[in-house]
A = this chain, B = another copy of it.
Amino acid sequence: MARKSGSHSEITRPRIRDAALRLFARHGFAAVSMRQIAAEVGVQAGAIYLYFEDKQALLFELMDTHMDDLLAAWEAVVLPEDALGRLRAFTRFHIAYHVERPDDVFIAYMELRSLTPGNFAVIETKRRAYERILEDLLEAGRADGVIDVEDVRITTMALIAMLTGVNTWYREGGRLARERLERIYWGMVERMITGARVPA
């Protein structure tokens, strides 16, 4: 049977995407079979190939659209003029985005090694572009004299790791909690890059 009521391309495709996203995030790319994904959607394994070339293409689409969404979301952020304000915006943006889409984020840095070399190159470029945003903000702050770090590159990596780490332990618990989370992290970041004691 085909074309059941309400089963069009626009419905099944995203359902496959969502199922793959959740399963890959939970069990890892290599540990999830096409049949498991299909079962989650309520379809046979062969149907997946109507929408994705193969398993690798499915993973790549998840990671690629995630990186595009992430970069686009940052572009949409309205930034203050001052360097420190921009770093504050980045910190809060990064945490908010990572808390909102934990599965995408998790896959994006966990399954890099599951990509074919060509696909890896594409994702890696976008990943570096994102890191570059923070790195440039730090450089700008340094030029303005408002921040003071020993090594911009190392600070960038340290901050990214620290902020992304939220993903490993924090789970959404209401809007207020996330607001506090962002505030606390910005407090730590600000100290790290300015050395200034921030008022309680």
Contact = CB atoms under 8 A, between A and B. Distances in A.
A58 interface: no
Contacts of A188: 149, 155, 158, 192
A50 interface: no
A168 interface: yes
Interface stretch (A22-30, A76-84, A134-142): A22-30
Given A113-B27, A160-B165, A169-B157, A195 B191 contact: yes
Interface in A14-56: 26-28, 30-31
A1 interface: no
What are the nearest 7 A-B pairs in CB distance?
A161-B165, A195-B197, A162-B162, A30-B30, A30-B31, A158-B162, A192-B192
Interface of A: 26-28, 30-31, 110, 113-114, 148-151, 154-155, 157-162, 164-166, 168-169, 181, 184-185, 187-188, 191-192, 195-198, 200
